[in-house]
Chain A
Amino acid sequence: MTDVASSLEALAKRLAAAVEAANDEQALEAARVRYLGRNGEVTAIRRSIGRLAPADRPGAGKTINDAVAAMERVLDERRAGLAARDVEAALAHRIDVTFPAQPPALGTIHPIRRVIDDACAYFERHGFAVVLGPEVEPDYYNFDALNIPPGHPAREGFDSFWIDDTLLLRPHTSPMQIRTMQMHKPPIAIVAPGRCYRRDAVDARHLFQFHQIEGLLVDRGIHFGHLKGMLTGLCRTLFGAYQEVRFRPSYFPFTEPSAEVDTTCPKCTGHASACSMCGGSGWIELGGAGMVHPNVLREVGYDADAVCGWAFGFGAERLALVRYDVDDIRRFVDSDPDFLEQLGTIS
């Protein structure tokens, strides 16, 4: 056995001992540097080759290379072993996944906006635009242009807040029908959500301010069946896929024919005679709708013989009361953190 070989053997033994003792990646690396590093012990032995007879040098070189390869295998094995041990240890971790989280402090969108946005999104998917407008409106937009001339009995139904002889807080969003049609030629496909006002004393079912969602579709070939189709889809979007929708004849000066729109009670689905939502009728009244009265179309300069249209107006609070099973409409204007957090989402 040459000196080189015996030195390497001894060195390999010490390395093996060091590797064995190394309990982590760092200690292992220290051992590698000490023996196999640029200034390590193996390097010292390599340098000693120069002192050998030239004939012995190749043999000694091979011996060193073989020994180094063997030592690297020892290191690799130990490294793999340590890694496997760490994985094993990590896999053995157990936490209580039910430990309470501290969710980030997100805000909330108001349930009225949620209902309005979901309704608008439904109409937008069908190609409608969403328009907003003023809350203080002249009587012309609120009444006259909607086929409710002064003295018309229907004006009484809108118990409005007046600012002066002609200006009032809009009692409905229907002025947006007129504004939009005056600004644009047909076809018109809009929804107009917004705040409205009526002189209702505040109680569990009434506020003097509320929100309406108005819809208007005017084009050639639009008929009552389209109104039923779109509003049925709206109810299913808001309340669930199995909603039925019922249209009952009614009267509004700005539509002819006119309808009241009801949907099946999502709370009792018509199966509870004492349902707090529908009073046992199985139906929830949503609002009015109908085919735009020819006088309204003529008022905005449309050819009532060429185009037809429908319109509807639903109360957003009503929709939200039903959708979220809210017991008292005043909760919508209460700023109660618990209410807002229960019903609000950020989207």
Chain B
Amino acid sequence: MKVPISWLREFVELPAESNAIAQRLAMLGFPVEEIVRRPVIEGVVVGRLAEVDRHPNADRLFVCVVDVGDDAPLTIATAATNVAAGQIVPVARIGARLPNLRIERRTMRGIVSEGMLCSPDELALDPQWFDADGIMQLDESLPIGGDAVALLGLRDDVLDVEITSNRVDAMSVIGLARELAASYGVPLRLPSFVNAAKKPAEPAPRVGIASADCSYFVVQRFDHVHVGRSCARVRVRLALCGVRPLSSIVDVSNYVMLETGEPLHFYDAGSVQGGLVARDALPDEVLTTLDGVTRALDPKVLVIADESRALGVAGVMGGSSSEVGERTTSILLEAAAFAGARIRRSAQFVGLRTEASSRHERSVPPALADAACARAAQMLVELGAVAYAPVCAGSVHSAPRLSLTQHDVERTLGQVLAPGRIASHLRALGCEVDDRSEVLQVLPPAWRADLTIPADLVEEIARMEGYDAIEAVVPAVTAHDVSSREYERERQAARVMAALGYHETITYSLRARGGEGSVALRNPLSEEQRYLRSAIEPALLDDLARIGRPFRLFEIGHVFASEGGIVVEVPLLSMAVAGEQTNEPAWSDAQFIRLKGDLQAFLRELTGNAGSVRPVQRAGLHPGKTAGLSIGDVDVALFGRVEPRAERDRGASFPLYAGSVRLDRLGDTLRPRYRPPSRFPSTYRDLALAVGVEVSAESVEAATAHAIGDICTAVRVFDEYRGPQIEQGHKSIAVRAVMQRFDGTITDEEADAAVARAAATLHERLGATVRV
């Protein structure tokens, strides 16, 4: 919300520095998004054009005799065309400073001009909103010779203040002035909010409430209304707040809204049949709003209607059928309190967001309606209107009285404050405080509907003390029973992957494509992000294709699937590798084996068990280069070479591999137990075997270990070869068995016998023959 500091100063004494005020507001909970700086303008006074004549030597110039309150009037030449005798205008005297301009005495076609008449632009006002065609027009309310900058409030900066949604009362100049007054400990000077009009209108306007979402509805009638132009001071204030000045009557409603926070609406009384009622829109009801758009309504929408039709969307925008125009002579003023949620739904339905709706959405307190009505009446009467007594429907319900003790404050803030100090903070904000007993009885002010529990009052006290004043203390945390297990596992997983040479990344969880069982968003930002990812690898592989060189990526995150209408969410670790181009035979893939080694190292690190591998098939992965890893009978990981077509589709120039680990399926880490080594030396034997190509290394190792028995401490296939020397359909592999006893040295004879057993078993079970 834009707030001119000059307007705040009308209600409260403030420091000169805009920064200081902005800082204070921030520390009260109203951060200033921007300080809109006003340029320095000096030496501009209010003048009256006593005479206006054409310049004797120039067709396009006028020569004005200008009364600026001095004994002698000034002679000023101007090129503006909108000048006429009798006008009140801003006059920059010799020596005046305007933005980018200093006024000097100059001769214009033989006439010495003693200053300059100012256009809105020269006063740093939006010319579109003022007198675009020339000199800015002021009015009789300003004293001739007075400092126009001070009188119009053009000097002070404007603050763009952010107001939290609970503080609709502070979406107003008075609301913020009240906060500043309380904080600085200075008085708040408010205008009178007593409605002077006592005489009832004949007939009195009827007002009704036919919806639970309107709690209070005031209507006041004004006659003898003259629709003209507002005084310059009002127009400037509205403009500085970012509200376009329109007509004297409409400006009053906006002015009062900005000042008090209560949105008002004026109806042309002649266009209203019967009275005003707040009700649900009818199905198929249609309304043309003030912006000229004809809108189909719906019972979701709350409207203000007369006896025959909807006149406006309640709390959002009025209708053009009852718009106040130049011919309007009587008006009905509406001030009401609506349920914020209803106004939000209404506004969403009609697709409008206005100054009024932004306030009503936050449930403007009913008490503001009477005050704003009174303020508007005062201004309209000053403009010559005749006011009649307001009539109302509904009620202003009074806020509950709250009990508060010194202990409540201390318990929450950790700070001991004297009851007198607590009471004075609350009073400064408008609370009534009865402090005759230890338990303070607090009645929040009518405009503070947000103060409903003692904790709310504690925050007010903290704000007035200043959050800075609360001492920082490090708490001693009591033992509790919440475990960090899942997190510790993720943290460890990431570190192991990094140690293995993988780079962690983060990709989007929302993807353009989904498959069967994918979870879709109802309101995606774009089709590129409609689905919750069911796998992480595709994004990693896309990234690798873009990186375009060998690289290793991993990501830890959730994947999603819909199973029987239930969203199932699983924590995964996925990795993708862009490998080196190699010239390996079809039966070998060293980079696949490296990936397997990485995964097994990972599993061993996280669970104490490297898991066992078996070939599997998975869409998107190469049918002959994909494997699953399981621990016990739980499948925990799957990895493989990316299927050649998928590789080509990604435009990858390097072989791609991908894998995933189900982090949720990794059980507890086995605690390792130390086994002292044997005191006796170990020995080993290597076997070169010819086996069928389908025989797996794992089965050779298992058979070897089994045959050798307890003395076998390690067995490992360490070479594989296929080629012309080997019979078709066969391969040569080499396996090493390590043997060791705890009770003595293994003899050569014993080792040879063990290997012979192994060879026999391998032949018997796997058809292997020993090569010599």
Interface residues of A (CB under 8 A from B): 105-110, 112-113, 117, 120, 124, 126-132, 134-136, 150-154, 156-157, 161-164, 167, 169, 180, 184, 186-190, 193, 195, 197, 199, 201, 208-209, 217, 219, 222-226, 228-230, 232-233, 245-251, 256-260, 291, 293-294, 308, 332-333, 335-337, 340-341, 344-347
Contacts and interface: CB of A to CB of B under 8 A. Distances in A.
Interface string B278-305: 0000000000000000000000000000
A224 B164 contact: no
A251 B163 CA distance: 9
B498 A189 contact: no
B462 A257 contact: yes
B455 A293 contact: yes
B678 interface: no
A17 to B, nearest CB: 44
Contacts of B612: none
A225 B506 contact: no
Given A135-B558, A187-B477, A208 B529 contact: yes
A128 B478 CA distance: 9
A14 B303 CA distance: 127
A113 B495 CA distance: 10
A248 B30 CA distance: 9
B567 A225 contact: no
A217 B477 contact: yes
A260 B543 contact: no
Contacts of B554: 107
Given A226-B473, A337-B547, A151 B341 contact: yes
B474 interface: yes
Nearest to A232: B472
Contact of A337 (B456, B481, B551): B551
B649 interface: no
B482 A224 contact: no
A189 B482 contact: yes
B509 A195 contact: yes
B415 A184 contact: no
Given A161-B524, A224-B470, A251-B166, A257 B459 contact: yes
A248 B27 contact: yes
A148 to B, nearest CB: 11
Interface stretch (B192-200, B255-263, B406-414, B710-718): B406-414
B569 interface: yes
B499 A107 contact: yes
Interface in B651-709: none
Nearest to B467: A247
B504 A344 contact: yes
Contacts of B475: 126, 217, 219, 222, 226, 229-230
Q: What 8 A-B pairs are tightest by C-beta distance, nearest first?
A: A151-B341, A249-B29, A127-B477, A257-B459, A223-B414, A251-B164, A225-B414, A335-B543
A153 B340 contact: yes
A190 B411 CA distance: 21
Contacts of B31: 248, 260
A340 B504 contact: yes
B480 interface: yes
Given A107-B504, A248-B467, A209 B509 contact: yes
A134 B558 contact: yes
A56 B473 CA distance: 99
Contacts of B414: 223-226
Nearest to A293: B455
Contacts of B543: 335
A134 B566 CA distance: 13
B275 interface: no
B477 A335 contact: no
Contact of B523 (A134, A156, A162): A162
A229 B341 contact: no
B519 to A, nearest CB: 6
Contacts of A167: 567
Nearest to A246: B468
Identify which of A135, A293, A308 gathers the most chain B CB atoms within 10 Å of its CB: A135
B480 A223 contact: no
A163 B462 CA distance: 40
B477 A225 contact: no
Contacts of B373: none
Contacts of A131: 482, 484, 486-487
Contacts of A257: 412-413, 455, 458-459, 462-463
Given A127-B477, A226-B474, A308-B412, A249 B27 contact: yes
Interface in B156-175: 164-167
B592 interface: no
B321 to A, nearest CB: 30
18 contacts: A107-B504, A109-B498, A130-B488, A136-B569, A151-B345, A152-B341, A153-B344, A161-B510, A161-B524, A189-B480, A226-B414, A249-B462, A251-B164, A335-B507, A335-B547, A337-B549, A341-B503, A345-B498
Identify which of A108, A195, A250, A346 gathers the most chain B CB atoms within 10 Å of its CB: A346
Interface in B496-533: 497-510, 519-525, 529, 532
A197 B344 CA distance: 23
A106 B459 CA distance: 50
B458 A184 contact: no
Identify which of B412, B415, B500 gathers the most chain A CB atoms within 10 Å of its CB: B412
Contact of A108 (B26, B467, B504): B504
Nearest to B551: A337
Interface string B558-586: 10100000010101000000000000000
Contacts of B558: 134-135, 195
Contacts of B504: 107-110, 113, 340, 344
Contacts of B458: 256-257
A346 B504 CA distance: 10
B178 interface: no
Contacts of A108: 498, 503-504
B362 to A, nearest CB: 6
A249 B463 contact: yes
Contacts of B453: 256, 294
A27 to B, nearest CB: 33
B474 A130 contact: no
A199 B525 contact: yes
A187 B27 contact: no
B471 interface: yes
A277 to B, nearest CB: 17
A281 B278 CA distance: 47
Given A163-B522, A247-B468, A134 B165 contact: no
Nearest to B482: A129
Identify which of B473, B480, B500, B547 gathers the most chain A CB atoms within 10 Å of its CB: B480
Contacts of B477: 126-128, 187, 189, 217, 219
A107 B498 contact: yes
Contacts of A293: 455
A66 to B, nearest CB: 44
A129 B473 contact: no
Given A136-B519, A249-B29, A110 B505 contact: yes
B557 interface: yes
Contacts of A245: 472
Contacts of A157: 165
Given A154-B165, A189-B477, 5 more contacts: A153-B362, A156-B344, A341-B503, A344-B503, A347-B495
A72 B482 CA distance: 75
Contacts of A154: 165
Contacts of B455: 256-257, 291, 293-294
Nearest to B542: A335
A346 B499 contact: yes
B344 A129 contact: no
Contacts of B473: 223, 225-226, 228-229
A121 to B, nearest CB: 9
Contacts of B546: 335
B474 A105 contact: no
A250 B487 CA distance: 31
Given A153-B340, A229-B473, A291 B499 contact: no
